[in-house]
Amino acid sequence: MKNKEIFNWLVREHVGRDWMNVRPHVREGVLGSIKVTPGNTENPYYGGILIFAKGKKFASDLKKMKIVLAGKMHISYNVSTFDRFSRYCKKFRVEDGATVIDKSNNFAYHVSVFNNNPQIFWTFKERWNFAFKGIYKKYKIGKMLPADFTDYKSINKVGDSMDLIGNKTYVAIVLPQAFPKVHTFQIKRTAYTPLGMGKVTHFDSEGLLEEFYLAYMPKYKGQFLDPKHKVVGIYRYYDRSRGVKKAFRRELILGCSDLKNIGMN
């Protein structure tokens, strides 16, 4: 299983399942059944999901490192096709916990409780510095995210604390920094636009790699994801190929026929 597949399948889940649940409550680009504050309101009509993905024995390694605190790691679920992945998501789109995917054998494991204490991700040297020198390791969250990560108008700019991003997103950002071969993925419930829908995100060790969200664009002349509601998909990926520290953001507007082609490894 490739990272591209995981991200792509989450996008298709978000559009095919989550939007269908939210759609009846939307009028002219606004989720009208509740008051929506982008960057703050959690959507009540679907569950989020957080995925940690790596290779063989990753699930058991996380348990040994006490990042996974509770979960039936001896029970695996085959997620080798989109249909199998979708059935898994339907069962485990819950408020608590996370999913560990072993990409080498296409197995998923549900984690009911995981440790989000920042110190759990420290190296031995970082622990030693804290114990004997009082140096507290801080992850620079703000540098790993664009200014408009939490809401489409950039009203709430993300700093280096986890106050604006929540526990799960914090872990999604920090885990790949502590373990560089790990990729994390998320379907977020926190509204990004007045539609009330959250984002799909993909992080690696350098930060946000790609993201997807739904947007209301009534004047758009191309293909819609939902023609009746004038909703399109916005896909953003962060180009680091120029050999500089700053990532260049690329943005595409997507209709239905474009969904199967997006995703990065």
Task: Give me the pLDDT at residue 107, please.
Answer: 87
**Three-class secondary structure of residue 260 per DSSP:** helix
Would you say residue 70 has pLDDT above 60?
Answer: no
Neighbours of 185 (CB within 10 A): 23
Would you say residue 122 has pLDDT above 60?
Answer: no
- Give the residue with greater pLDDT, 27 vs 146: 27
Beta strands in 43-147 (DSSP E): 49-54, 68-70, 77-78, 98-102, 107-111, 113-114
Task: Give me the pLDDT at residue 164, please.
Answer: 67
Task: Give me the pLDDT at residue 206, please.
Answer: 85
* pLDDT band at 113; cut points 50, 70, 90: low
Instruction: Please write the tens of the pLDDT for every residue from 22-65.
Output: 999 999 999 988 889 988 899 999 999 999 888 766 666 666 55
Task: Give me the pLDDT at residue 183, please.
Answer: 94
The C-alpha atoms of residue 170 and residue 160 are separated, in whole angstroms, by 10
Percent of the chain with pLDDT over 90: 40
Would you say residue 151 has pLDDT above 60?
Answer: yes
Q: Nearest-CA neighbor of 20 among 53, 43, 49?
A: 43
* pLDDT band at 193; cut points 50, 70, 90: very high
Q: Where are the domains of the chain?
A: 3-203
Question: Of the spans 4-8, 101-105, 146-150, which averages the highest pLDDT?
Answer: 4-8
Tell me the average pLDDT across 236-241.
82
